[in-house]
Chains A and B, each alone.
Chain A
Amino acid sequence: MAEQPHNQQPPATDPVTAFWRDVWAKMAPAAPTGFPGMGSVPGAAPMPSFNPFMTPDMAKRMQSAFFDAMAQSAEQFMRSPQFLDSMKKSMDQALQFRRQMDDFLKLNMAESFEAATGGANAELLGAIRHLERTVTGRLDELNDRVDNLEGKGKPATPSSPASNSKRSRASSNRR
């Protein structure tokens, strides 16, 4: 079995380690140069004067770096299977709770008080909607038949000759 060299860091596999490593890497350039190991990071912004203490400007830069790391970590987390799975589970539970609540209200409260529930209203609206769709569908069929009788062939929206010519021009361009 091959041994890992001691000076090589293992890759950060768990999100917490990865997050803090990212935070550290982002905050290092903003940190005071007096902090051991931080100010010496390559690429660090040069300090105006040596100062081992935190100034407001440094604090803001470190805060900004921390937020950047957090945002990146949050984005990665919200794409992870763990998050998606928990999102789906909590959504399923919320929907189940909602259905149980509706059923409970309908069975126990609404029937006792002979009152209408949201669910009952939705059913009524659904029935009206179904009726409306049937009627409009039938009207559309009649419209098609009238169009056919008039020789138009297919139901069309009223269109001006100008736009028709543009349309044929455009379609010929695409071809």
Chain B
Amino acid sequence: MTYSTPTPTPPPMPFPLPPMPDFSAMLGAWQGEMDAFQRKLAAMPKIAEILSRTKKGCTPHDVVMSEPPVRLLRYQSDAPKKHATPVLFVFALVNKPYVLDLLPHKSVVRRFLEAGYDVWMIDWGTPSPGDAQKTLHDYVEGHMHQMVQRVLEETGQDSLNLVGYCMGGTMSAMYTSLHQDLVRNLVLMAAPLDWSTEDSLLMTWTRPENFDVDAVVDAFGLIPPQFLGTSFMLLKPVANLFQKWTGFYEKMDDEKFLEEFFAMEVWSNDNIPIAGEVYRDFVKYGFQQNLLLKGKFPLGRKKIDLGEITCPVMNITADSDHLVHPCQSTPLKEVVGSDDYSEMSVKAGHIGLSVGSRAHKELWPKVCQWMAERSDPIGK
């Protein structure tokens, strides 16, 4: 008789044992990261070189008129002209306008030149303390009207296409309502027209109980660029202070990325002061009292009535715009007098509207086409 000792069964584990960690995969991943870091270190001299060759604007232009500090630019192009009706770009007063002509593949100006337009731009320049007293009326009915008349005089046309971006869009809408006969088509890009939304952080900050615009304007005269720059930066502090730089680190060995990054950085840090009285008008009658859509926004002795706009209107918004929410632009359709009103939206942020690759691929060809259908061809 044989006896066999039973094999002792191990006691059941209170929880299943994890499999062994994959050390080799982990080390491989970190090794890849170290290699990438070395590539980035090696790219340092290239970064300095690209930064040093970053330009402000890329398309050659002539300065046709100057009313210091404001200048009227006409862009040069070898592309054959197809449309007699010129295009005039109007940018905001808070930044330089060359974001519309940042790099050859990200230039809205070039898209219009390639489509056969005669392209002009108002460069508001950098206001000096002597300009602090200028009001919105001075800019719209003064400088802007002078520039529009000069464009028409130079081109021999009786009307032009007006493209306004951001605050420049608001000013363009105001101008069109006052001089409808001089504007053939109006294109608005992320133009704030309605300040009734509570979504915007800027709206919260500029409420009368939080912000005394009169005290700021009276104390400073010209609103310092740092003040505006910091306000815009604080709208997205994490993105501007951290995520932007982690993104930069990730792609700092990519030459094309660096060119675009530095072009944007140079532009976004190239802030200009804004005339105090313009700022007062805009904050008080726009942000705080929301008078524009009500037809009560005062400009000189007149009140702006957007119902006076009867030309074709294209209202472009950016889906992820944190500065001018789409709901601040689209209410225009409720008040505009035009029976040819269209809207377009692109998946981009406020500046992505002009420099985003999606906007250049999908939006601008359509806008050029829309405008072509409503402009005079050459030789007519």
* Chain A interface residues toward B at CB < 8 A: 34, 49-53, 55-57, 63, 67, 70-71, 74-75, 78-79, 84, 87-88, 91-92, 95, 98-99, 118, 121-122, 125-126, 129, 137, 140, 157-160, 163, 166-167, 169-171, 173-174
Q: Decide: A159 near B133, CB < 8 A? Known: A78-B234, A170-B338.
A: no
Expressed in whole angstroms, the Cα–Cα distance for A140 and B211 within the complex equals 34
Q: What are 22 sample pairs from A and B whose C-beta atoms fall under 8 A apart?
A: A49-B22, A49-B25, A50-B19, A52-B21, A55-B29, A70-B238, A71-B239, A78-B204, A79-B204, A84-B204, A91-B212, A95-B219, A118-B129, A118-B221, A122-B129, A125-B129, A125-B130, A126-B133, A160-B158, A163-B181, A163-B310, A167-B310
Residues of A within 8 A of B243 (CB): 67
Residues of B within 8 A of A63 (CB): 246
Select which of A50, A67, A98, A160 is within 8 A of B242 by beta carbon.
A67
Interface residues on B, range: 35 or more
Expressed in whole angstroms, the Cα–Cα distance for A67 and B211 within the complex equals 29
Expressed in whole angstroms, the Cα–Cα distance for A91 and B223 within the complex equals 13
- B279: shortest Cβ distance to chain A, in Å? 14
- B241: shortest Cβ distance to chain A, in Å? 10
For residue B257, CB closer than 8 A to chain A, the reply is no
Residues of A within 8 A of B205 (CB): 78, 84, 87
Residues of A within 8 A of B337 (CB): 167, 170-171, 173-174
For residue B307, CB closer than 8 A to chain A, the reply is yes
Select which of B30, B133, B178 is within 8 A of A55 by beta carbon.
B30
For residue B255, CB closer than 8 A to chain A, the reply is no
- A35: shortest Cβ distance to chain B, in Å? 12
Residues of A within 8 A of B22 (CB): 49-51
Residues of B within 8 A of A92 (CB): 212, 215
List the A residue with the shortest CB-CB distance to B32.
Answer: A56
List the B residue with the shortest CB-CB distance to A140.
Answer: B301
For residue B18, CB closer than 8 A to chain A, the reply is yes
Q: Decide: A91 near B216, CB < 8 A? Known: A74-B237, A163-B310, A170-B339.
A: yes
